[in-house]
Structure 1
Amino acid sequence: MADNKKRIRFRSIAILEAVIILILAVGLVWVGFIKGRKDAVPANSSNKPQVRRRAVIDKEEAFYQLDGKKLLMHDSTYGEIFVPIYGDVPASDLDLSGLTMRNGYAYYEENGEIISTTGVDVSEFQGAIDWEQVKQADIDFAFIRVGYRTYGDGIITYDNEFQRNIEGAQKAGIKVGAYFYSQATNADEAVEEADAMIDALAPYDISLPVVYDWEIVHTDSARTDDVSVEALADCCVAFCERIKDSGYTPMVYQNTGTAMHKLDLPRIKDYDFWLAEYGDSPSYYYDFKIWQYTNTGHVPGIEGDVDLNIWFRPEK
């Protein structure tokens, strides 16, 4: 009988402790919920200090597909190599048999009709541009460099010809986008670069994407030499989300080698892609909207060499 009373007493104490723990847990959840609702600010909030939202860096793991499908590439050391293909990154659906080159320009046909448009991307290195001549040379769009971060000191600098180029191109009736040459080493620096773009573009009506152009410096030592794969993806996401929150369409520019060997493609698959690969036909496997096919193009109104691009299926 005494043992039974003792067991009942212990059981009562255990039940009481469980009830107290449950009450405390419910209280903590409720306090957190109320505080979260109080502190939360929507991305489109009109409160001035919160206009530009900080990107949420999602690092969910992605996997290669396991069906044995291989992507063959060429390496200067090993010759032909292969890499497994990402199953969750959209592949290009372009029919490259419809791609032709005429008079230095690339054209893309579908159903017997040319649907592509031709464009240039320019910076202060092209000097003073006669945009009326460029328009008459059948150039439909232009991406203007807004600025860059120096690869040594990491200083954000505006392009000397940015204002003249964007105003001249728009006046000539050329559709305009913009890009920033990044040497960011982390997400915070990428946000700084995006903010510099947003501030510079504020007076203008930009109809085409705002582009993140992060490049490896091959000709010299640079502050970005040791940037990790994870950090580069963080930079892309941080820049693009900041740009998207400001009402622009973000895009990532990259060459085939860096995209395949350095860029975490599953993490940027939701952003449009601008490919740089010089030659008569692109070999890049995954989806891309624009192809930069030469850096030695010639267009009336632009002195010297200029990058030429084809937009395969431009938005109407």
Structure 2
Amino acid sequence: MALFQVGIDVSRYQGSINWSAVAAAGKQFAIVRIGSSNNNGAYVDPYFLQNVNGAHAAGLRVGAYYYTYARTESAVAGELTTFLNALEGLQLEYPVFVDVEARSLTSLGKPQLTNLVKYAMDILNQRKWYAGWYSYTNYINSYMNASALANYPLWVADYRSSLGYTGQYGMWQYSGSGTVSGITGAVDLDYSYQDYLPTIRAGNFNGYGSDGPDMTTVSGYKLTVFGSNTEYFYTANLNDVVGYLPLGSYPVTQITKEKYNGYDWVVFEYNGGQYWTALIGDRNRLERDDTTDDCSRQLAEANAKIAAAKAALE
């Protein structure tokens, strides 16, 4: 699996951080704790906003996590009431992770605990926060049904020299005792193997807003690129360019209902992310991703033209 970025995760336990020094040390992202719970209920980490703003100012990409103790759906909702308020107005380039590792939750059993984590992530997604989950290898294997959460990105902790977890994951917390310039004491160290930002932006998650064209979700379509000058974008904005698409075909997930900024747009999958491009006739085209259906459509169109020609001669 190819490494995308190296980073850290932090909370109040790291105190005040010199984020410029962290960036100069080569760290590219930070996952920041939103908060946790105690006997008085859910609370926001006192360093949360300071860390988010500091990391962004230093040029790092940022995500967030919260430590859950919720044993019921109502407790999940209670935690999220606090943490969603704390997220309001922010933009994040990495997911919002539900950190599930508390020993007090293991007595719930795999089905119930898994359902609670899924319930939390479903709510986050509905509120337009790109959700994921975090745990460590033994906890996942013993107390979670990871296959039931496969639609959500996993950030897994495993401090061995090589990752022992054998399921799908997008990030690996490989140390809990790292040292990084700008931070006093130990800090967790992480690898990310996934660029989450294109999917976050394409789906208008994590504070990236809903401005843009009205879209229709589709299946069975592909974008065929035959011009080397086909640009692709993070959003439906010609100034938000990523680069040029290689020639080939790409699965399409959304199409515009009407022209936007003068073009019809599609959202397509490429290199594990979702991106946008404009349909321009001399560069690319939208096609059905089914040879049989395509042939049937072309035959029907040909028959219609023949029928029209015969009618004109009568």
Post-superposition Cα deviations, 1:214-250, rounded to whole Å, max 9, x if no partner, equal: 1124xxxx4x353232221121111101110111211
State the alpha-carbon separation in 2 of the partners of residues 158 and 164 from structure 1: 12
State the alpha-carbon separation in 2 of the partners of residues 284 and 291 from structure 1: 10
> Which of 117, 129, 140 pairs up with 2:28?
140
The residue identity in structure 2 corresponding to 1:166 is: V
> Which of 10, 14, 17 pairs up with 1:129?
17
Aligned to 1:272: 153
The residue identity in structure 1 corresponding to 2:132 is: M
CA apart distance, 1:268: 1.0
Aligned 1:139-288 pairs, distance under 5 A: 139-150=27-38, 153=39, 155-217=41-103, 222=104, 224=105, 226-288=107-169
State the alpha-carbon separation in 2 of the partners of residues 278 and 210 from structure 1: 22
The residue identity in structure 2 corresponding to 1:309 is: D
State the alpha-carbon separation in 2 of the partners of residues 242 and 268 from structure 1: 14
Post-superposition Cα deviations, 1:196-230, rounded to whole Å, max 9, x if no partner, equal: 2221111211121000001124xxxx4x3532322
State the alpha-carbon separation in 2 of the partners of residues 313 and 226 from structure 1: 33
State the alpha-carbon separation in 1 of the partners of residues 86 and 144 from structure 2: 27
Post-superposition Cα deviations, 1:25-63, rounded to whole Å, max 9, x if no partner, equal: xxxxxxxxxxxxxxxxxxxxxxxxxxxxxxxxxxxxxxx
Instruction: Note if contact 2:43-2:82 (Cα within 8 Å) is conserved in structure 1.
Output: no
Aligned to 1:295: 176
Higher share of residues assigned strand: 2
Instruction: Note if contact 2:36-2:45 (Cα within 8 Å) is conserved in structure 1.
Output: yes
Instruction: Note if contact 2:95-2:130 (Cα within 8 Å) is conserved in structure 1.
Output: yes
Q: 1:154 to 1:232 in 2, by over 3 A?
A: farther
Unmatched 5+ residue regions in structure 2?
Answer: 199-314
Instruction: Note if contact 2:68-2:102 (Cα within 8 Å) is conserved in structure 1.
Output: no
Instruction: Note if contact 2:6-2:29 (Cα within 8 Å) is conserved in structure 1.
Output: yes
CA apart distance, 1:116: 2.3
SS at match of 1:208: coil
State the alpha-carbon separation in 1 of the partners of residues 42 and 134 from structure 2: 19
Instruction: Note if contact 2:106-2:143 (Cα within 8 Å) is conserved in structure 1.
Output: no
State the alpha-carbon separation in 2 of the partners of residues 197 and 157 from structure 1: 8
SS at match of 1:226: helix
SS at match of 2:161: coil
State the alpha-carbon separation in 2 of the partners of residues 196 and 263 from structure 1: 25
Aligned to 2:292: none
Post-superposition Cα deviations, 1:264-287, rounded to whole Å, max 9, x if no partner, equal: 223211111001000221021111
Instruction: Note if contact 2:9-2:189 (Cα within 8 Å) is conserved in structure 1.
Output: yes
Alignment TM-score, normalising by the size of structure 2:
0.60
% identity of equivalent residues: 27
The residue identity in structure 2 corresponding to 1:116 is: F
State the alpha-carbon separation in 1 of the partners of residues 194 and 117 from structure 2: 24
Q: 1:273 to 1:154 in 2, by over 3 A?
A: farther
Number of matched pairs: 197
Instruction: Note if contact 1:193-1:239 (Cα within 8 Å) is conserved in structure 2.
Output: no
The residue identity in structure 2 corresponding to 1:128 is: S
Aligned to 1:116: 4
State the alpha-carbon separation in 2 of the partners of residues 215 and 182 from structure 1: 8
SS at match of 2:107: coil
State the alpha-carbon separation in 1 of the partners of residues 112 and 151 from structure 2: 18
Instruction: Note if contact 2:132-2:153 (Cα within 8 Å) is conserved in structure 1.
Output: yes
State the alpha-carbon separation in 2 of the partners of residues 262 and 174 from structure 1: 33
Aligned to 1:312: 193
Instruction: Note if contact 2:44-2:83 (Cα within 8 Å) is conserved in structure 1.
Output: no
Aligned to 2:237: none
State the alpha-carbon separation in 2 of the partners of residues 290 and 174 from structure 1: 16
Alignment TM-score, normalising by the size of structure 1:
0.60
Instruction: Note if contact 1:120-1:308 (Cα within 8 Å) is conserved in structure 2.
Output: yes
CA apart distance, 1:165: 0.7
Runs of 4+ in 1 over 4 A off after TM superposition: none
CA apart distance, 1:154: 6.4
The residue identity in structure 1 corresponding to 2:59 is: G
State the alpha-carbon separation in 2 of the partners of residues 154 and 225 from structure 1: 22
State the alpha-carbon separation in 1 of the partners of residues 46 and 144 from structure 2: 30
